[in-house]
Chain A
Amino acid sequence: MSEFEKLRIVIGYEFLKHIRRKRLYVILGLTVIAELAVLILVPVLGDGFPDNIMVMAALLSVGPSLAGIGAIFFAGDAIAGEFENKTGFILFTNPVKRSTLVIGKYLACYAAVALLVILGYVIVTISLLAIYGSVPIETLSSFGLCLLYAGSILSVTFFFSAISKGAMGATVITLVFIMVISAIIDSVLAMTGQPHWFMLSTNGDAIATVYGGYEAFMEGFGGGGGMMPFEMETPSVGLSVLSMVLYLGVGFVLSLFISKRRQLA
């Protein structure tokens, strides 16, 4: 039996795990709520929907970007859970490579996250069609960036899951790393005019800024670029892609390496 066949089996059962867990449906619900909030609050609090379709598309991209949160909650226990819950005593005594198990878990997590992204963009597309009668081509780029962003977050979470003793610890560390530490460093770099294209939080912004930069996005809140407390240059999409590919690749390779070496004592 080839490792590829084993990988297919691992993906199947790991995906079943996500389908049977409540957290998938909670994040799906949050995605729908986020999109509804934009669709209701923007016209109510502003002067109807923005004239510029790009602004509305950028605002609606907040829903699919929740896939990043989903990735953290899906993957936090992927590796740490096998050690903490001792399910590894059963799984790891089977004739299957650790790397096959980790890759299978990663791909199953990614499939669950992709479900969230797809749902988000279905809502974006239907909403834009209903309001403006068209969908900008940039939505496709935003969709691709969102998938890449989710993959990079997943890799970072897998890395923390591989080095953490417990699943909760891995989830919290990843949340703090991405939502707090990365965001703070990102803001400081941006405020001081330093390059910040390599920060994950900046990379996530690319999902919305692909529609026309920070200025277009802030216009959605009625203030235009003037709402920015400081001059903030929109990082290039190309550099954001490069950064996310690096996070995805390095995080994943490190999690594979650590998982293979980790002992179940």
Chain B
Amino acid sequence: MREPIVIEKLTKYYNNFLALDNLSLTVSANENVGLLGPNGAGKSTTLKILCGLIRASSGAAYIDGVDVAGKPEQALAKIGAIIETPEFYPFLTPEETLGYLGRLRGMGGDELKRRIKEVIALVRLQDWSKVKIEKFSRGMKQRLGLAQTLLHDPPVLILDEPGLGLDPRGVVEFREIIESAGKEKTVFFASHQLVEVTQICNQVAIIDHGRLLAYDSIAALEKKYKSLESAYLELTEAPLE
């Protein structure tokens, strides 16, 4: 089992609320998969379990064959993640923040300095690299969030609504960065923006009420339902048994 992401029969309860219901899916290497679903469908819960932030009630999640619950450090070493709107320590600058996170991932010296410069330039925060984050807007924090996912050049990116809070230019720039990264990496990407998903991903998984409703290539879904939008609307409006 060496697929980048394997989700096996994941079930998650928040008290009595069933957030994930026996969810299983596999993301193969270098695939870019969009995770679609209405609010409360279980998208963020799935990504949080993959990132070791919460525990599943049952089932398992694997990153590159490593059980996230059993060996979280080993699994997390393979990923770069943005979950919800990222928040950072306000007393640090982007350079210091990336220095901290890079060092925690075993980077250091000139390589880390060079890489920090690269990712800061990539997300266009050069003029703010030495400014304390307490002065940052939501969009700027989102940019820094993307910079920290790419800093250590991980093979797997797990992104939860990465375009949230960005201005239109930022959304386009983000899309281009993720699209470019997706050529060499596996991207698992939760979003409400169908256009964004279409441009970045080649496959989509549609979930609702914690259940997997469809998992196929965009082309196949468009063929079956006329468009991705129709597929989404048709699949997510059906009442669940």
Interface residues of A (CB under 8 A from B): 1, 6, 9-10, 13, 16-17, 20-21, 85-90, 92-97, 263-265
A/B pair count, beta carbons within 8 Å? 73
Determine how close the nearest CB of chain A comes to the CB of B169; give it in whole angstroms: 24
Query: How far, in angstroms, from A21 to B134 measured CA to CA in the complex?
Result: 12
Of the listed residues B73, B105, B145, the one surrounded by the most CB atoms of chain A closer than 10 A to its CB is B73
The dominant DSSP class at the A interface is loop
Q: Do A13 and B92 touch (CB < 8 A)?
A: yes
Q: Do B87 and A94 touch (CB < 8 A)?
A: no
Q: Do B87 and A85 touch (CB < 8 A)?
A: yes
Binds A, one of B24-32, B51-59, B122-130, B219-227: B51-59
Least CB separation from B101: chain A residue: A94
Q: Do B88 and A93 touch (CB < 8 A)?
A: no
Q: Do B91 and A89 touch (CB < 8 A)?
A: no
**Complex interface: chain A residues within 8 A of B148 (CB):** 90
Interface size on B, residues (CB 8 A): 34
Query: How far, in angstroms, from A57 to B48 measured CA to CA in the complex?
Result: 55
Q: Do A96 and B104 touch (CB < 8 A)?
A: yes
Q: Do B86 and A265 touch (CB < 8 A)?
A: no
Q: Do A86 and B81 touch (CB < 8 A)?
A: no
Contacting B103 at CB < 8 Å: which of A9, A20, A88, A265?
A: A9
Q: A86-B87, A263-B55, A264-B54 are in contact. List 5 more A-B contacts (CB 8 A).
A: A1-B106, A9-B103, A17-B91, A86-B84, A94-B104
Q: Do B87 and A95 touch (CB < 8 A)?
A: no
Contacting B89 at CB < 8 Å: which of A9, A17, A97?
A: A17
Q: Do A265 and B76 touch (CB < 8 A)?
A: no
Would you call B83 an interface residue if the criterion is a C-beta within 8 Å of the partner chain's C-beta atoms? yes
Query: How far, in angstroms, from A17 to B51 measured CA to CA in the complex?
Result: 26
Query: How far, in angstroms, from A86 to B72 measured CA to CA in the complex?
Result: 19
Q: Do A265 and B92 touch (CB < 8 A)?
A: no
Q: Do A265 and B105 touch (CB < 8 A)?
A: no
Q: Do B14 and A265 touch (CB < 8 A)?
A: yes
- Chain B positions 100 through 129: 1 when the CB is less than 8 Å from some CB of chain A, otherwise 0: 110111100000000000000000000000
Q: Do B84 and A93 touch (CB < 8 A)?
A: no
Would you call B74 an interface residue if the criterion is a C-beta within 8 Å of the partner chain's C-beta atoms? yes
Q: Give me the 8 closest cross-chain CB pairs, A-B, nearest first.
A: A1-B106, A95-B77, A95-B73, A263-B54, A20-B91, A264-B53, A95-B76, A86-B87
Question: In the complex where A9-B103, A21-B91 touch, is A93 in contact with B55 (Cβ < 8 A)?
Answer: no
**Complex interface: chain B residues within 8 A of A263 (CB):** 53-55
Would you call B79 an interface residue if the criterion is a C-beta within 8 Å of the partner chain's C-beta atoms? yes
Q: Do B103 and A89 touch (CB < 8 A)?
A: no
Q: Do B86 and A92 touch (CB < 8 A)?
A: no
Of the listed residues A87, A90, A97, the one surrounded by the most CB atoms of chain B closer than 10 A to its CB is A90
Contacting B104 at CB < 8 Å: which of A86, A88, A95, A265?
A: A95
List 8 A–B pairs whose Cβ atoms lie within 8 Å, in order of A's numbering. A86-B85, A90-B101, A93-B51, A93-B52, A93-B83, A95-B75, A263-B54, A265-B48
Question: In the complex where A1-B106, A265-B48 touch, is A93 in contact with B79 (Cβ < 8 A)?
Answer: yes
**Complex interface: chain B residues within 8 A of A264 (CB):** 48, 53-54
Determine how close the nearest CB of chain B comes to the CB of A78; give it in whole angstroms: 12
Least CB separation from A263: chain B residue: B54
Query: How far, in angstroms, from A264 to B48 measured CA to CA in the complex?
Result: 8
**Complex interface: chain B residues within 8 A of A88 (CB):** 53
**Complex interface: chain B residues within 8 A of A16 (CB):** 91-92, 96
Least CB separation from A261: chain B residue: B55
**Complex interface: chain B residues within 8 A of A6 (CB):** 104
Question: In the complex where A21-B91, A95-B76, A264-B48 touch, is A90 in contact with B104 (Cβ < 8 A)?
Answer: no
**Complex interface: chain A residues within 8 A of B76 (CB):** 93-95
Question: In the complex where A17-B89, A87-B88, A264-B48 touch, is A93 in contact with B53 (Cβ < 8 A)?
Answer: yes
Query: How far, in angstroms, from A13 to B73 measured CA to CA in the complex?
Result: 20
Least CB separation from B97: chain A residue: A90
Q: Do B53 and A92 touch (CB < 8 A)?
A: yes
Least CB separation from A90: chain B residue: B86
Least CB separation from B103: chain A residue: A9
**Complex interface: chain B residues within 8 A of A90 (CB):** 86-88, 101, 145, 148
Question: In the complex where A90-B145, A95-B77 touch, is A9 in contact with B51 (Cβ < 8 A)?
Answer: no
